[in-house]
Amino acid sequence: MKIALAQLNYHIGNFDANEAKIIDCIAKAKAENADLVVFSELSISGYPPRDFLEFDDFINKCEQSVMQIAQYCNGIAAIVGAPRSNNSGKGKRLYNTAWFIADGEIKNLINKTLLPTYDIFDEYRYFEPNNQFEIIEYKGKRIALTICEDLWNVDDVPMYSINPMDELLPYEPELIINIAASPFHYKQAKIRQEVLRKNALKYNLPIYYVNHIGAQTELLFDGGSLAMNNKGELIEELKYFEEDFRIIDTEGEHSVIQQQSSTKIQLINDALIMGVRNYFEKLGFKKAILGLSGGIDSAVTLVLAVEALGKENVEAILLPSQYSSDHSIKDAEDLANNLGIKAHIIPIKSTYQSFEKTLEPYFSGLPFNIAEENLQARIRGVILMGFCNKFGHILLNTSNKSEAAVGYGTLYGDMNGGLSVLGDVYKTEVFELANYINRQEEIIPINSIIKPPSAELRPDQKDSDSLPDYDILDTILFEYIENRKGPNEIVEMGYEKAIVDRILKMVNTNEHKRYQTPPILRISSKAFGMGRRIPIVAKYLT
């Protein structure tokens, strides 16, 4: 049997576009003599549809699309993913379903058994788990059709009390098909392949796996769909961060291949570019704007935006104050020239002085402090948002994960934006990204990379005045945020207790700021946003 793997970039709720993509791929697979074409989990609706699933109209449109697609499945079968109404009269109102279509009609409905409800996943909020097991017989093959998490219960300490493949094994399947929506983080591709390898070895069956690609707001999907033999060896791997299509003959001879190799920073770079590009495309926007300071964060964000959207669609605003250094302005100008983008210089000193005059009766006799510093950041934020409103741009936020973690940013100032590009990228990783960008030529001025980081909101200010060195800060943040280690565990790793306690306190007391940030493109296993739910009014470690 010839199986086509169709790895596509879907758009949540864009039924016409999703349907057209699927129908085109069915025609392509049929023209190339495939017997079966496989699409990913919830391909009809896009993933994750979240509370759209609570609307009957949304579910009706999903089911109408499936029926429309079925008309094209003559002489070829297709597997598509879509929500389906649960009409049993008990349990959640929907199933997460793989629809097996052949001869122009729905032949089998396979519901997802294991519903992830952790980190970014919230499927049990919407779906009823499957409790009936069957295999699909097609073209003389017995197929175990599974959906994403259904194959992930293979750890030494299983998360779930049931394993779908154990239930299907008595029916003697000959191959496993898994349709998935497996979001990206920079370690996920290796983890995913290891999970699939364990299944192939445990059940002695080949696996055909189809994933999403593309960005859905903050969630990024990297693709990497594949075929694996019953020895857990990779025999086919589709592209990463691109749509792709491949036909595999289950009866053919296949050479074993190596997994595509990319460095962590290359993966992050490619994922962020895709994330920015898709955010604009799917919202119907073209133009991005950002504040360019001459520092490394705004420089990296600008380069990624130009790569994603084209230099004609990105504009930079330089907003120097009386505390901005001459070299920062020059570094920003040099970068804009290197990229060939439009840039404007709008000094904010006179605007700041107007605010000082307005507040003078109330601030008189009080020392300069964070109030005056934040005024500068908020003036910049107001000007940037003014450009957005006047010209229809989206403001890109340039704050990094280290800053977001400890609250080193100004609400309604430099924390403004429609999309946070680097909000899941630690400062040390931003330096790595800058060097990766400059790997062939100097695009980002070297001075932006090597100079001590500074917000330049007061004379001779340095980030190190307020924060530990980023090498120390980022390591402690990683252990607390990604690895969920407590203060005693981190101290036992050799870090000074006073520094650990101070950093963790800053993280937890600044949760209220992160509730008000723009969506953050997720590139790590634990990003701020939907996957990390921390109370604001809490006493722990504060």
- Can you list the alpha helix ranges (DSSP code H) found in 482-517? 487-492, 497-509, 511-514
Residues 332 and 427 in one domain: yes
Residues 6+ apart with CB under 8 A from 3: 34, 35, 36, 37, 38, 177, 208, 227, 247, 248, 250
**Residue 534: inside a domain:** no
**Residue 486: inside a domain:** no
Cβ neighbourhood burial of 88 (10 Å; 0-12, 13-18, 19+): exposed
148, 149, 237, 315: the active-site residue? 148
Q: Which domain, by its residues, includes 416?
A: 267-463
Question: Is pLDDT above 80 for 519?
Answer: yes
How many distinct structural domains can be found in the chain? 2
For the ranges 206-220, 236-250, 302-316, 465-479, which has the lowest average pLDDT?
A: 465-479
CATH number at residue 305: 3.40.50.620
Give the model's pLDDT for residue 407: 96
pLDDT digits (tens, 9 = 90+) for 14-67: 999 999 999 999 999 999 999 999 999 999 999 999 999 999 999 999 999 999
**Residue 490: inside a domain:** no
Q: How far is CA 341 from CA 153, 159, 355, in A?
A: 49, 50, 31
Q: Which of 386, 372, 528, 530 is nearest to 461 (CA)?
A: 372
Q: Which of 513, 512, 511, 531 is nearest to 521 (CA)?
A: 531
Domain boundary among 463, 497, 522: 463
pLDDT digits (tens, 9 = 90+) for 87-128: 999 999 999 999 999 999 999 999 999 999 999 999 999 999
Give the model's pLDDT for residue 157: 85
148 is catalytic: yes
Residues 308 and 409 in one domain: yes
Instruction: Give the whole-number percent of the chain exceeding pLDDT 90.
Output: 94
Give the model's pLDDT for residue 458: 75
Domain boundary among 226, 261, 296: 261
Residues 62 and 176 in one domain: yes
Give the model's pLDDT for residue 327: 81
112 is catalytic: yes
Residues 280 and 246 in one domain: no
Domain boundary among 463, 496, 513: 463
Q: How far apart are CA 506 and CA 190, in angstroms?
A: 33
30, 61, 112, 485: the active-site residue? 112
Residues 284 and 178 in one domain: no
Q: In the structure encoding, which two tokens stand for residue 331, read together?
A: 């570094």
Place of tokens 């199986």: 3
DSSP string, 114-134: ----STT--GGGTBPPP----
**Whole-number average pLDDT of the chain:** 96
Give the model's pLDDT for residue 156: 84
pLDDT digits (tens, 9 = 90+) for 377-411: 999 999 999 999 999 999 999 999 999 999 999 99
For the ranges 163-177, 266-280, 455-469, 474-488, which has the lowest average pLDDT?
A: 455-469
Q: How far apart are CA 287 and CA 388, in angstroms?
A: 9
Residue 498: pLDDT band by 50, 70, 90 thresholds?
very high
CATH number at residue 170: 3.60.110.10
Residues 451 and 402 in one domain: yes
Q: How far apart are CA 190 and CA 186, in angstroms?
A: 9
Residue 324: pLDDT band by 50, 70, 90 thresholds?
confident
Q: Are the CB atoms for 261 and 254 separated by under 8 Å?
A: no
Question: Is pLDDT above 90 for 426?
Answer: yes
Residues 255 and 341 in one domain: no
For the ranges 159-173, 399-413, 448-462, which has the lowest average pLDDT?
A: 448-462
**Residue 475: inside a domain:** no
Give the model's pLDDT for residue 463: 77
41, 236, 315, 429: the active-site residue? 41
Residues 387 and 436 in one domain: yes
Residue 456: pLDDT band by 50, 70, 90 thresholds?
confident
Residues 244 and 321 in one domain: no
Give the model's pLDDT for residue 516: 94
Q: pTM value? A: 0.96
* Range 262-289 average pLDDT: 98
Give the model's pLDDT for residue 328: 86
Question: Is pLDDT above 80 for 464?
Answer: no
Give the model's pLDDT for residue 326: 75
Give the model's pLDDT for residue 377: 95
Q: How far apart are CA 282 and CA 266, in angstroms?
A: 24
Question: Is pLDDT above 90 for 367?
Answer: yes
Residues 255 and 275 in one domain: no
Query: 94 pairs with which residues across the strands?
Result: 85, 127
Question: Is pLDDT above 90 for 323?
Answer: no
Q: How far apart are CA 148 and CA 164, in angstroms?
A: 11
In this structure, the number of other CB atoms found within 10 A of the CB of residue 129 comes to 18
Question: Is pLDDT above 80 for 455?
Answer: no
Q: How far apart are CA 236 and CA 208, in angstroms?
A: 9
Residues 349 and 224 in one domain: no
* Range 156-171 average pLDDT: 94
pLDDT digits (tens, 9 = 90+) for 429-438: 999 999 999 9
Residues 255 and 325 in one domain: no
Residue 465: pLDDT band by 50, 70, 90 thresholds?
confident
